[in-house]
Amino acid sequence: MSNKSATPSSTVSVHDAVDHSIELGHGNSPAAWTCVAVMLVGTIIGCIAFLIGESATILFWVGVGVIAVGIVLGLVLRSAGYGVGGSKLKNTGH
């Protein structure tokens, strides 16, 4: 056994200042809401398939497919300008 004590070689500060004035967005956009809503439907379909039993394997994979469609739909809407800070959501004052 070693008699060396475990001491950190550098000091790490855990209490760094956080700037709360920066708005993070949190995904509050039509693209994010659409993505989450479609993925929620896919999750519900998958849960129903689990409740039905082994005969609903195809229904489970349909739910997984709906979740994948939701992810793609969210990405497409974001690239079309409906994401956070997108060009379609900016207020032009009109």
**Residue 73 domain flag:** yes
Cα 75 to chain centroid distance, Å, stands at 11
Residue 83 CB contacts under 8 Å (≥ 6 apart), including other chains = 29, 31, 32, 77, 89
| Number of separate domains in the chain | 1
| Model confidence pLDDT, tens digit, residues 5-64 | 555 555 555 677 777 777 666 778 899 999 999 999 999 999 999 999 888 899 999 999
Residue in the block written with tokens 């659409």 = 34
pLDDT digits (tens, 9 = 90+) for 63-75: 999 999 999 999 9
In a domain, 58, yes or no: yes
Cα–Cα distance between 76 and 71 in angstroms, integer?
9
Assigned domain for 8 exists: no
Q: Which two tokens stand for residue 2?
A: 């070693």
Provide the residue range defining the domain that includes 34.
30-82
Supply the pTM of this predicted model: 0.68
**Residue 12 in domain:** no
Cβ–Cβ under 8 Å, residues 73 and 38: yes
For the chain, the residue count is 94
